[in-house]
Amino acid sequence: MSAAAPLRIGVVGWGAIGRVVGTALAGGEVPGAELTRVIDNRPRPEAPAPQCPIAEALEVCDLVVEAAGQGFVREWGARILASGTDLLVASTGALTDEALAAELHAAGPGRVYFTGGAVGGLDLLQAARTMGELTEVRLTTTKLPATLEQPWMDAGLLERMRTADRPVEVMCGTAREVPARFPRSTNVAASVALAVGDADKVEVRVVADPAAVLTRHVVEAAGPHGHYRFEVNHAPDPGNPATSQVVPHAVLRGIGALTGRKGQIL
């Protein structure tokens, strides 16, 4: 029996996530997968695969890995799936837009996948909700103040964040509201919402802490069959502190699951 053809992958975005994912694929670190194209809005002569526009990549790729931000998902998500190419979304914050989420789920014949990124326990939350509705779900995300600054913040809030010597609560809202206000640094909130099945049920606190050498995510949930608490503390990416170093490796794990790599926890 001949070996199956490798999964041909296009990586969109050659930044903190895409560069690690693409380099690992090019180095053969995920058996059964190969880096076929790189899609980025800036020239990337160092990339280990040909660079091309997304429309061209759809002609030669089986899977597109999005590592370019929520805007790309909104603009291209449904079109990628309609072309028959599968899509792995890292910027899950885009899916808190109900209309976009419905559009992606209805599109095809390509299939859409999501990565949990920098948080764990999502598989358990998905299992728990099948036994009965989760009654409480809370996420507290704590990061360095500079990684949380946003254009909509007023001068008073920015001053409190920049001069803080202790944790400062920056925003409290639902998992539908928070990712829209922090599009590059709160995809974890959207991932928890996807696992729970209701973005409005997840209460999210965003905290700026000048002592947050590690990025912290604490998920707490309760339902008729149990109580759950998950805490993760990640080293931020040196080049992009808004992203945890583990995120591209979560993406690579997802690709490995799609290629049928043995021994994976699904």
Mean pLDDT score of the chain = 90
Please tell me the predicted confidence (pLDDT) of residue 138.
Answer: 96
C-alpha 124/C-alpha 126 separation (Å) is 5
> Which percentage of the chain shows pLDDT scores above 70?
97
Residue 217: active-site member: yes
Please tell me the predicted confidence (pLDDT) of residue 266.
Answer: 58
pLDDT band of residue 2 (cuts 50, 70, 90) is very low
Q: Residue 179: what residue type?
A: P
pLDDT band of residue 38 (cuts 50, 70, 90) is very high
3-state secondary structure 61-85: CCEEEECCCHHHHHHHHHHHHHCCC
What predicted TM-score, i.e. pTM, was given to this entire model?
0.86
Q: Is the pLDDT of residue 105 over 90?
A: no
Please tell me the predicted confidence (pLDDT) of residue 264.
Answer: 64
Q: Is the pLDDT of residue 1 over 70?
A: no
Please tell me the predicted confidence (pLDDT) of residue 166.
Answer: 94
Q: Is the pLDDT of residue 137 over 80?
A: yes
Q: How far is CA 142 from CA 101, 216, 237, 239, 252, in A?
A: 27, 5, 15, 19, 25
Catalytic residue among 217, 227, 234, 249: 217
- Written as six digits, the tokens of 186 are 């709160």
Q: Residue 174: what residue type?
A: T
Please tell me the predicted confidence (pLDDT) of residue 135.
Answer: 92
- The predicted model gives 84-93 an average pLDDT of 91
Domains and CATH numbers, the chain: 7-117+246-258 (3.40.50.720), 122-234 (3.30.360.10)
- The predicted model gives 117-130 an average pLDDT of 86
Q: Is the pLDDT of residue 118 over 60?
A: yes
Please tell me the predicted confidence (pLDDT) of residue 224.
Answer: 87
Instruction: Convert the pLDDT of each residue in 157-190 to its tens digit.
Output: 999 999 999 999 999 999 989 988 988 777 888 8
